[in-house]
Structure 1
Amino acid sequence: MSARPAVAALGGGHGLAASLQALQLVTDRITAIVTVADDGGSSGRLREEFDILPPGDLRMALSALCDTSEWGLQWRDALQHRFAGGGPLGGHALGNLIIASLWDLLGDPIAGLDLVGRLLGARGRVLPMAGEPLQIEASVLGADPACPDEVTSVLGQVEVATTLGRVLSIRLNPDPPLPCREAVHAVLDADWVILGPGSWFTSVMPHLLVPDLRDALVHTSARRMLTLNMALNTGETQGFSASDHLEVLAAHAPDLHLDVVLVDPSVVRDRGDQLRDTAQALGAEVVFAQVADPERPGTHDSLRLAAAYRDVVE
């Protein structure tokens, strides 16, 4: 076990969960570093009412790392259970409420997440990317269809994720954010750092805007892998090619060097020559691997993604 690589996986939402499920088959030394800018749904309601980190993406990461015993899977399902109805509990995930309760009880977000991890028998640790809830602000071209050439500011994760315009850049409020020291140390101590997959501007890029975390990503001795999404030209990245994703990353973190860009060949136009050229400018090799889930278009298959991670890491 000691020979297995230490991996820090950065992202949020379903993309990070898919990556974590795959990584469990490669190593038992995993640290998930999760975005904390969500302001929608159950997370947004709890964040606004109690001024806490949005727990939803943290809950999903913990659930993805659960032990595969009957105990672990039952607790995973319990944490993921969402209350129905239009009452005060309607729409809340039980895990969000448990996490918020533990934070209130313990007064320490990291200790609360570690305790939920113990409950799940989690095969890894889950940490927030920052020590305070963050707000995403984006510069968007054509957010108002009536003014397609106008650049305006769009506030909030939900608003950025659903904008009708083209996202040009993002920033975080407050700036600079309070860093999570444990997350910084996890990146510095890793053998591999994996960015993505996930919503590009609202789950992946925000990590590069926390100065201490970005510096750790730049200076770590770990190798760095970027996992591209299975669906690139949708939502907040409408009109983006695979190469455009890398250019956005370089614009937000010009000093960041990559070693590997992992991508399913189905999402790359023509032969992928442009992607190779853009990746090479970042110091990276492009690795093409069949990682799509044939039963669920636009998503990763955990076993295929695990095989791709194993081949690259080993």
Structure 2
Amino acid sequence: MSDNFPADSGGSPADAAAAGAAADDPPGVSPPRVVALGGGHGLHASLSALRRVTTDVTAVVTVADDGGSSGRLREELGVLPPGDLRMALAALCGDDEWGHTWSEVVQHRFRSEGQLHGHAVGNLLIVALWELLGDSVAGLDWVGQLLGAHGRVLPMSSVPLDIVAEVEGADPAHPFEISTVRGQVACASTRGRVRSISLVPEAPPASHQAVKAVREADWVVFGPGSWFTSVLPHLLVPELAEALVETRARRMVALNLSPQKGETDGFRPETYLEVLAAHAPRLGIDAVLADSGVVGDTTRVGEVAKEMGGRLVVRDVAAGDGSPRHDPDLLAAAFDDVFRD
């Protein structure tokens, strides 16, 4: 580590922020240790809610983005794509002036006619710390300390990944033909229906801190988010997948509010669970959280949840403006109910 940075004091900077917030917990009651898996806007939604529920939250984030600012930095510098990691850190910022300000700063994108156009400030900050420290996790911890993040953000793998999808009907002229699409952006925007995914490199190395967090958690939360490109990739990193199966933590699946064009067109609530089970047959779950406005007839999704070992929990968690977004306060209340049960 550079001499310009203080020595490790025995815990991550994010731990210090969480420890300060822990003073609000009732005496003798430890907050649940929660690990949230995903990336992008879906993980941002779950983290925005979870930081309202517990002072011990860890985000394990996909590292397969190949578009925009993240894709450019990944290609030019050979680093992990920082965008989803940045969004997770922003979601963990507090509701005070410090948190609001730094959340806006790291999310800010430059607008110009030059090479900085489209780059997010937070992406550049994260990559700068990676270069200075030579350690992706340490760099994220330092950004978390600067932001006052109420939790920790970790990459799911120590190397950048590519997603490869088997897609049906990518060519409208051949609706039943199966083809291969490579790259997160291509998979998310395909005109066909994604059937399954794999990773390149195959069997990538997991972040050992992420594996440790999963094994020590009380709850692991899958979703909401882009199912094939943000949620399922965690189950294709062997050491992380093994930890997700073997952990003593309880597992919750938070379902999306609407299908994603291309990636999950035509998905019913139970389809998310069926695809999850197909990619990880040994994975059991304890609870499935669904919005009451999305799940009409709960029979089938309840049956699939039960087949996977869990129960269906239906709550109002959508934003009141009619958009397919989760309300952080309502989602937090739903998480809290499930954790307490």
What range is the shorter-chain TM-score in?
over 0.9
Q: 2:328 aligns with which of 302, 306, 309?
A: 302
TM-score between both structures, scaled by the size of structure 2: 0.90
CA deviation after TM superposition for structure 1 residue 71, in Å? 2.2
Closer, same or farther in 2 for the Cα pair 1:233/1:277, shift >3 Å? farther
Please state whether the residue corresponding to 2:251 is helix, strand or coil: strand
Partner of 1:275: 301
Native 8 Å contact 1:224 1:260 kept in 2: yes
2: distance between equivalents of 1:218 and 1:128? Answer: 19
Partner of 1:200: 227
- Tell me which amino acid in the other structure corresponds to 2:262: G
Partner of 1:122: 149
Percent of residue pairs bearing the same amino acid type: 58
Partner of 2:15: none
Native 8 Å contact 1:12 1:198 kept in 2: yes
After the TM superposition, which of the residue ranges 288-297 and 219-228 deviates more from structure 2?
288-297
**Cα deviations by residue, 1:13-66 (Å, 9 ceiling, x for unpaired):** 011111111111110000000010011110011001101100000000001111
Where in structure 2 are there 5+ consecutive unaligned residues?
1-24
Q: 2:96 aligns with which of 63, 66, 69?
A: 69
Is residue 105 of structure 1 aligned with residue 132 of structure 2? yes
Superposed CA RMSD: 1.0
Native 8 Å contact 1:231 1:299 kept in 2: no
1: distance between equivalents of 2:104 and 2:297? Answer: 42
Q: 1:29 aligns with which of 56, 60, 65?
A: 56
Q: 2:312 aligns with which of 278, 286, 299?
A: 286
Please state whether the residue corresponding to 1:153 is helix, strand or coil: strand
CA deviation after TM superposition for structure 1 residue 189, in Å? 0.3
**Cα deviations by residue, 1:55-112 (Å, 9 ceiling, x for unpaired):** 0000000011113332222121111110012310000000000111111111100000
Q: 1:239 aligns with which of 266, 269, 279?
A: 266
CA deviation after TM superposition for structure 1 residue 267, in Å? 1.6
TM-score between both structures, scaled by the size of structure 1: 0.98
Native 8 Å contact 2:291 2:317 kept in 1: yes
CA deviation after TM superposition for structure 1 residue 233, in Å? 5.6
**Cα deviations by residue, 1:194-240 (Å, 9 ceiling, x for unpaired):** 01000010010111111111111101000000000111263300011
Please state whether the residue corresponding to 1:237 is helix, strand or coil: coil
- Tell me which amino acid in the other structure corresponds to 2:58: T
- Tell me which amino acid in the other structure corresponds to 2:154: L
Partner of 1:226: 253
Matches within 5 A, 1:163-182: 163-182=190-209
Partner of 1:250: 277
**Cα deviations by residue, 1:263-302 (Å, 9 ceiling, x for unpaired):** 002222x412111111111001000000000125101000
Paired residue total: 313
1: distance between equivalents of 2:84 and 2:268? Answer: 26
CA deviation after TM superposition for structure 1 residue 178, in Å? 1.3
